[in-house]
Every structure is written in structure tokens, then in C-alpha cells.
Amino acid sequence: RLDTLRQWRNACDYQDSVPNLTSMMNDAIKEAEYIFNVLPNKT
């Protein structure tokens, strides 16, 4: 999952045009939310 987020970020950083950017953005937010939710709670 983190690798996918990194690939998407690299595409946005280094490509002049990113196809389906809105879809990619929505998927990235969902993936990031999932990652944060599975992290252990350190309170």
C-alpha cells in the first residue's frame, strides 16, 4: 500500500500530465486513511 502511494506521488511530482488524477487522488486518500486506521494506537 505504501508503495502504491509512493508511485502515485512520483507520478504527480514528475509527470507533466497524470491521467485520471481525480480518481487517483480519491484512491490515495482512501489508502492513506486505511493505513492510519491500522496503525497501533499509542495513547
Contact (Cβ atoms closer than 8 angstroms) between residue 1 and residue 31:
yes
Is 43 a member of any domain? Answer: no
Instruction: Report if residue 26 sits inside a domain.
Output: yes
Q: For 17-39, what is each residue's pLDDT tens digit?
A: 999 999 999 999 999 999 999 99
Q: Is residue 7 part of a domain?
A: yes
Task: State mean pLDDT over 11-20.
Answer: 92
Q: Is residue 25 part of a domain?
A: yes
Count of structural domains within the chain: 1
pTM: 0.72
Confidence of residue 2 (pLDDT cuts 50, 70, 90): confident
Does 29 fall in a domain? Answer: yes
Q: Which domain holds residue 7?
A: 2-37
The confidence score (pLDDT) of residue 22 equals 93
Nearest to 9 by CA among 1, 36, 39: 1
* Residue 34 φ/ψ region, left for φ over 0, alpha for ψ in the -120 to 50 degree band, beta for the rest: alpha
